[in-house]
C-alpha cells in the first residue's frame, strides 16, 4: 500500500508541475514574467504545501522543522545548507520568506520544472562570476539567498567539500551565514537513488534544523571562511543519522611488494598496526575531510594477523562525536579503532 501511495503522490506531483510549467511558459510569452509570477507563485508554493500534507497522510514520508518559526529574521542573510536530496530546497521555501535560491542549470531542460525557478526569481548556477555578482545585488536589494555550497547532492555523507563562492558573498556584503542542517537518514532522492524509485525505507524522514549564524572575521579570506563553515557543518552532521551510514573504502591488496609489511617480519611478513592506522586515517580524511588535529585516537585493537595475499577494506561509521573503524576482509575483522572528534572553533 505504501508503494501505491508513493507512486500516486509522485504522479499527482508530476502532473501538477507539468501543468504549472505549461501555464508559466504561456504566461511569460503572453503577459511577461512579472505578471505571471504575481499570479502563479502562490500555485507553486501550494504544490509544496500539498506535498507536505500528502506524504505523512499516505505514510510515505515526514517533514519536520526545528527552530524556524519565530526565529527567521527579516534582514538579509546568506542561508547555507547541506544538500542531501532533491526535496531539500522546495520544502524550505515556505519557511524562508523572500529568499532567492541558486538552482542547477540543467533544470532548465526539465519538462516538469524548466519554467518554475527562473519565473519566481531564482538564479542558475552556470553563470560563474555573474552569478556571484547577481547574488550580491540581491542581498543589497534586501533579499536573502539560499545556497548549497556542495554544488550537488552529497555523494558520501556527511558532506561534499564546500565551494567558496558563498564566502565571497558573505564577506563582500558583510552578512551572516545562517546555517541550515538537513538530516535525510534514508537518503531519499539522494545522489545515488532516483526519485522515481520508491524509498528504501518508508516512511522516509526529512528533518530541517535552523542552526547558528556565523560571521566572517575581520580580514578573513574567502577560502578560510569557507573552510571554517565547512568544518562546523561536518562536526554538526556527524551527529545526524544521515552521516552514520557506513562507508567502505576500495579494496586494499596486501602484498610483500607494495611495502606494507616492510620490516615485519623477515620470513613471516605481516602488516603492522601503524600501517593499518595510516589506512584508516587516510580514509577518514578522504571521506570526512578530517585532518590529524580534528580527531583523537581513543583505542585500537588488533584481532587477527594480517598477512600478504589478503584483500581488505576500511569501514567507517560516525556516531555522535566519534568515528569507529574496522579493517576487514573475507568476513574477518583484523583490527578496530575508535576516534573522538574534536569540536571546531567557530568563534
* pLDDT 10s digits, 144-172: 889 999 988 888 777 889 999 899 999 99
What is the three-class DSSP state of 277?
helix
Question: Looking at residue 55, what is its pLDDT?
Answer: 85
List, in order, residues 6 or more apart from 296 with CB less than 8 Å away: 339, 340, 342
Choice among 8-12, 33-37, 176-180, 263-267 with the minimum mean pLDDT: 33-37
pLDDT category at 343 given cuts 50, 70, 90 is low
Ordered by start, the domain boundaries in the chain are 63-197+206-242, 247-341
Choice among 87-91, 165-169, 208-212 with the minimum mean pLDDT: 87-91
**Burial class of residue 71 (count of CB atoms within 10 Å of its CB; 0-12, 13-18, 19+):** exposed
From the options 3.90.79.10, 1.10.10.10, 3.10.129.10, 1.25.40.10, give the CATH code of 247-341. Answer: 3.10.129.10
pLDDT category at 247 given cuts 50, 70, 90 is confident
Rounded to two decimals, what is the model's pTM? 0.66
Highest mean pLDDT: which of 140-144, 184-188, 303-307?
303-307
Question: Looking at residue 162, what is its pLDDT?
Answer: 93
213-227: burial string, b at 16+ Cβ within 10 Å, e else:
ebebeeebebeebbb
- Whether 102 shows a pLDDT value over 70: the answer reads yes
**Burial class of residue 172 (count of CB atoms within 10 Å of its CB; 0-12, 13-18, 19+):** middle
- Whether 190 shows a pLDDT value over 70: the answer reads yes
Question: Looking at residue 88, what is its pLDDT?
Answer: 87
Highest mean pLDDT: which of 41-45, 226-230, 266-270?
226-230
List, in order, residues 6 or more apart from 202 with CB less than 8 Å away: 2, 3, 6, 59, 60, 61
Question: Looking at residue 166, what is its pLDDT?
Answer: 92
- Whether 347 shows a pLDDT value over 60: the answer reads no
**Burial class of residue 34 (count of CB atoms within 10 Å of its CB; 0-12, 13-18, 19+):** exposed
Q: What's the pLDDT tens digit per position in 298-315?
A: 999 999 999 998 999 998
Highest mean pLDDT: which of 178-182, 187-191, 288-292?
178-182
- Whether 112 shows a pLDDT value over 80: the answer reads no
Amino acid at each position: 500500500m505504501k508503494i501505491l501511495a508513493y507512486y500516486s503522490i509522485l504522479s499527482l506531483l508530476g502532473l501538477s508541475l507539468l501543468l504549472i510549467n505549461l501555464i508559466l511558459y504561456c504566461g511569460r510569452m503572453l503577459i511577461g514574467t512579472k505578471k505571471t509570477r504575481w499570479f502563479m507563485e502562490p500555485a507553486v508554493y501550494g504544490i509544496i504545501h500539498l506535498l507536505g500534507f500528502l506524504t505523512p497522510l499516505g505514510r510515505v514520508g515526514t517533514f519536520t522543522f526545528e527552530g524556524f518559526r519565530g526565529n527567521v529574521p527579516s534582514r538579509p542573510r546568506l542561508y547555507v545548507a547541506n544538500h542531501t536530496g532533491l526535496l531539500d530546497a522546495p520544502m524550505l521555501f515556505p519557511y524562508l520568506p523572500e529568499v532567492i535560491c541558486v538552482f542547477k542549470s540543467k533544470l532548465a531542460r526539465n519538462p516538469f520544472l524548466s519554467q518554475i525557478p527562473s519565473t519566481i526569481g531564482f538564479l542558475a548556477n552556470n553563470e560563474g562570476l555573474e552569478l556571484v555578482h547577481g547574488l550580491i545585488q540581491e542581498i543589497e536589494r534586501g533579499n536573502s539567498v539560499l545556497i548549497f555550497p556542495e554544488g550537488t547532492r552529497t555523494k558520501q555523507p556527511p558532506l561534499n567539500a564546500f565551494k567558496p563562492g558563498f564566502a565571497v558573498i558573505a564577506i563582500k556584503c558583510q552578512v551572516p551565514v545562517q546555517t541550515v542542517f538537513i538530516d535525510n537518514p534514508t537518503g531519499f532522492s539522494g545522489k545515488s537513488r532516483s526519485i522515481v524509485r520508491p524509498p528504501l525505507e518508508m516512511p522516509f524522514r526529512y528533518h530541517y534544523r535552523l542552526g547558528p549564524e556565523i560571521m566572517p572575521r575581520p580580514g578573513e579570506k574567502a577560502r578560510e571562511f569557507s573552510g571554517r563553515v565547512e568544518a562546523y557543518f561536518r562536526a554538526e552532521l556527524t551527529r545526524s543519522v544521515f552521516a552514520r551510514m557506513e562507508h567502505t573504502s576500495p579494496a586494499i591488496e596486501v602484498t610483500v611488494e607494495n611495502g606494507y609489511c616492510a620490516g615485519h617480519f623477515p620470513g613471516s611478513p605481516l602488516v603492522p598496526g601503524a600501517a593499518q592506522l595510516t589506512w584508516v586515517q587516510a580514509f577518514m580524511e578522504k571521506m570526512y575531510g578530517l585532518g590529524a588535529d580534528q580527531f583523537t585516537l581513543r583505542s585500537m585493537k588488533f584481532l587477527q594477523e594480517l598477512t600478504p595475499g589478503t584483500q581488505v577494506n576500511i569501514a567507517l561509521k560516525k556516531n555522535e562525536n566519534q568515528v569507529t573503524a574496522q579493517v576487514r576482509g573475507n568476513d574477518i575483522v583484523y583490527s578496530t579503532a575508535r576516534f573522538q572528534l574534536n569540536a571546531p572553533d567557530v568563534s
